[in-house]
């Protein structure tokens, strides 16, 4: 078992205070958006191992590369290859993230192979597929957490847009009311993303001012427009369900579901991939034709997940994916230790109180990596999240 030393990513949308407050350290004044826990090559966690020459610090990626089956277990390597198949994060949004969608596994493989065959450099700004993997993800709120998730009914989106009273928005309203669900959502998103940029900037400015005046259910869109003035994603956001999570509640984001996180602190787990197709709220490249191929144009209710309790004290967030499983344990002082031994690798993250896993004491925001099959128990008084590979 290893204590993890993790990298915090300073993306512009990050909160300046949420992660420092959890860690009990002073803010630096710069955004601290995501703390990565795992073996992603872009920012792998670091561990310290004892070798014949003494203690050596190394990246978790290096430890796994040196002994994949010893670290991950034979079954995990057979299913996913010699890599940790999930990435765990603390995510702290102080401003809206980009509006985005992820491909399914077949789409990711096809898209990656196509761009490789066409010789598109992996670091090119217009490159869409960074790898051949899908990226299902789950966000569990630690504080009240706001987001957008999935298309709402076209008639509801039409009502919200019509209430703005902006003439240049009326064509979208008419499309939403005139066509069957799938066609309406597809045509309006296409029209928004392919509109003349100058004209769209004016439309968004008028829509933002109207949303500010209306307040109430329109307030989130005014806030989005404040962070992304003139961005077509402001109107695209009005096609989606607005969701407010309470601590302990979660959202699962599957392939093809457009979404964006707006504000709050949460624990996020995802398949280890960088494949993101953006729909707006970003200065980055938007591949409209590929986006329209990937997006699922259907209205859905945002399914808010609550953990399912087991006799062992585990509270598990059930998802339909193989790469990861997320559980929560609420440990009480003086209670018998909770066994966490598993045949797959684990990352354990404390988010409240003080817990001990094996010989490691963890406080809020601190984490540990447990190789597959290693015996481990947890005790103390606090909240512990457990990330592992789905059984």
Contact 188, 158 (CB under 8 A): no
Quick one: which of 196, 197, 200, 174 has its CA closest to 187? 174
278 in active site:
yes
H-state helical runs in 125-265: 154-162, 170-178, 181-194, 197-214, 219-227, 233-237
Select which of 83, 278, 328, 386 is catalytic. Answer: 278
Which residues, 6+ apart, have CB-to-CB distance to 289 below 8 Å? none
Strand partners, 386: 327, 348
Residues in the chain: 391
E strand or H helix at 49, and its extent? strand 46-51
Pick from 222, 223, 201: nearest CA to 213: 222
Q: In 10 A of CB 242, how many CB atoms?
A: 18
Residues 385, 372 contacting (CB under 8 angstroms): no
Residues 221, 224, 228, 233, CA torsion sign: negative
365: helix, strand or coil: coil
Q: Which helix (H) or strand (E) holds 57?
A: strand 54-59
Cα–Cα distances in angstroms (integers) from residue 205 to residues 157, 161, 163, 222, 229, in the given order: 18, 14, 15, 10, 7
Helix (H) or strand (E) holding 34: strand 34-38
The angle formed by the CA atoms of residues 81, 83 and 85, to the nearest 5 degrees, is: 95
Distance CA 125, CA 115 (A): 13
What residues have CB less than 8 Å from 271, skipping those under 6 apart?
85, 86, 87, 133, 134, 135, 136, 137, 321, 323, 324
Diameter over CA atoms, the chain: 74
Closest C-alpha to 22, from 349, 325, 326: 349
Would you name the residues annotated as active-site residues? 278
């Amino acid at each position: 078992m290893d204590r993890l030393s993790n990298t915090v990513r300073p993306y512009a949308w990050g909160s300046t205070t949420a992660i420092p407050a959890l860690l009990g350290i002073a803010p630096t004044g710069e955004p601290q958006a995501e703390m990565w826990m795992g073996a992603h090559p872009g920012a792998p966690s670091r561990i310290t191992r004892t070798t014949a020459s003494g203690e050596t610090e190394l990246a978790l990626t290096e430890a796994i590369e040196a002994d994949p089956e010893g670290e991950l277990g034979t079954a995990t390597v057979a299913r996913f290859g010699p890599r940790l198949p999930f990435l765990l994060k603390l995510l702290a949004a102080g401003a809206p993230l980009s509006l985005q969608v992820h491909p399914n596994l077949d789409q990711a493989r096809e898209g990656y192979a196509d761009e490789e065959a066409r010789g598109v450099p992996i670091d090119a700004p217009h490159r869409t597929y960074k790898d051949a993997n899908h990226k299902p993800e789950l966000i569990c709120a630690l504080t009240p957490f706001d987001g957008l998730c999935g298309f709402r009914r076209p008639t509801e989106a039409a009502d919200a847009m019509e209430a703005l009273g902006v003439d240049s928005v009326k064509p979208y309203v008419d499309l939403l009311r005139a066509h069957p669900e799938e066609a309406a959502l597809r045509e309006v998103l296409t029209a928004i993303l392919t509109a003349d940029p100058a004209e769209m900037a004016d439309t968004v400015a008028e829509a933002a001012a109207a949303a500010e005046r209306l307040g109430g259910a329109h307030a989130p869109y005014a806030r989005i427009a404040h962070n992304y003035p003139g961005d077509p994603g402001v109107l695209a956001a009005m096609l989606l369900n607005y969701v407010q999570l309470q601590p302990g509640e979660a959202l699962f984001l599957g392939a093809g579901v457009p979404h964006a996180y707006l504000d709050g602190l949460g624990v996020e787990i995802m398949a280890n991939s960088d494949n993101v197709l953006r729909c707006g709220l970003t200065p980055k490249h938007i591949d409209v034709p590929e986006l329209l191929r990937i997006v699922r144009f259907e209205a859905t209710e945002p399914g808010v997940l609550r953990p399912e309790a087991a006799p062992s004290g585990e509270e598990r967030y059930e998802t339909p994916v193989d790469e990861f499983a997320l559980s929560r344990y609420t440990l009480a002082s003086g209670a018998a230790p909770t066994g966490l031994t598993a045949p797959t690798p684990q990352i354990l993250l404390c988010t409240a109180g003080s817990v001990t896993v094996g010989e490691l004491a963890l406080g809020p925001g601190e984490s540990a990596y447990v190789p597959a099959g290693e015996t481990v128990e947890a005790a103390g008084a606090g909240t512990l999240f457990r990330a592992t590979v789905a059984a």
